[in-house]
Structures are given as C-alpha cells and as structure tokens.
Amino acid sequence: MNMVIAALIAAFIYLWHQPTTISRLHRLRLNDDVTSNLALLDQLKHRLHRKSERDALSQRLIDALAALDAELRSGQPPNSALVRAADEPPLWPAALAAVRIGGDVGQALRVDAQSLPLLGHLAACWEVASHSGSAMSASVRQLLQSSRQNEELRATLEAELAGPRATAKILSGLPLIGLMLGIMLGADPVGWLVGTPIGWGCLVTGLLLTAIGATWSQRMVRGVERLL
C-alpha cells in the first residue's frame, strides 16, 4: 500500500513537469478519429521542430548579411550586392524582384520583413542610404554585428535556462526521495501521511507547495523564453 501511494505521488510530480506536452495535447483535443489524430500529431511534431527551424533560418540570415557586407566592402553596387548575397532559396525574394524590374527595393525589403523581421532593419538601412546618398556598408556592418550579438545572447540564455529547469525538477522530486528513504529505513511515512489528520494536512500542504513552486519556476523560465 505504501509503495502504491508513493508511486501515485511520483506520477503526480512527473506529470506536473510535463506541462508543455500535456497542454499541447489538451489544446489539440485528440479524438477517436484516427485521421484527425494523425493530422493533429503532425501539427504537434511541426511545433516541436519549429524552434530548430527558426534557429537554422536565423543563422542563414546572419550568413546572408555577412555576405552582403563582404560584397559591399569589395565595391559592389548595393543592388548587385543584394542579388549576390541572397542565398538559395533567396531570403529576400521580393527585393530581388524589385531589383530586376527597377522597383523600390526598400519597400520590397519591408515586404520580405513580414516573414523575417530583421529585414525591416535592412530596409531602413537601404532607405537611409538611398535618400541621403551615404554608403550602405557601415550600416550593414553594424546591423550584422548587432544580429550576431543578439544570436549569441539568445544561445546563452537558452543554455542558462537548462540549469533552472533541472533544479526545479530535482527540488520537486526531493519529497518523493524522502518518502522512499523512509520506507527503505523501515519507517512508515506514507502510513503516517494518510493515516492521521496531521499527516493529511502535511500531505496536502506539501503537494500544494510543490505545485506552486513548479508553476512559479515554469513561469519564470517562460518569461525568459519569450525574450528569445
């Protein structure tokens, strides 16, 4: 009986630390329709891979800005540099189309920025250089440096978040470890918890504090993740 109750407490703590997966499955509202479930699971898989795809796209964009900076410093005209640095598939297709037809490249870059917000800053650099006649190289170089710093900061924050996540899980599991140690030493902590009014009070209070602590830790981590 003691082991069963301890197992139930362990299951509670484990499920509490699966909020992302559980909440996603809840939002997806899986049903008995196999076809619908497969489609929803594909959607969940897409969400899980979104982060890695975003990271790869961010790196591609930084590499393209580095290529654009190199082309401008080598003396290439802005339009030619933009075409040569666009990568394949092009990261700024609307801007390339504007170059080919002689359109407004700055405005086209703002169209591309709808999918890649960083291109909005490149559009601003382009428009300032076009209106003032100043060279684009310095502003693109500054944008490149800023983008690299932001990417490094994001990677650092993600690495730093691994510690708080692991610490929260370990701390939440300590009560269960204490129960297991008590059982191994021959005591009956579970029997006391469920067999006396004080024990029930301690059990409910402990589970409540564990839930509050886990929720608090998760919200702090998610608050940082929103900055990434």
pLDDT top residue among 220 and 141: 141
- pLDDT beyond 80 at 21: no
pLDDT of residue 39: 55
Rounded-to-integer distance, Cα 21 and Cα 43, Å: 13
The whole-angstrom separation of Cα 17 and Cα 166 is 10
| Pick from 35, 5, 43: nearest CA to 183 | 5
| Single pTM value for the model | 0.59
Cβ contacts of 58-64, under 8 Å, gap ≥ 24: 58/151, 59/151, 60/87, 60/91, 61/91, 61/116, 61/118, 61/119, 61/147, 62/144, 62/147, 62/148, 62/151, 63/87, 64/91
pLDDT in tens, 52-100: 777 788 889 999 999 999 999 998 899 999 999 988 888 999 999 999 9
Q: What is the DSSP string of 153-166?
A: HHHHHHHHHHHHHH
Q: What are phi and psi of 80, to 5 degrees?
A: -65, -40
Region 28-43: mean pLDDT is 51
User: Is 144 exposed, middle or buried, given 0-12, 13-18 or 19+ CB atoms closer than 10 A?
Assistant: buried
* Alpha-carbon span 140 to 71, nearest angstrom: 11
Which range scores top for mean pLDDT: 11-15, 143-147, 163-167, 223-227? 143-147
Residue bearing tokens 């839930």: 211
> Given this model, what pLDDT does residue 202 score?
87
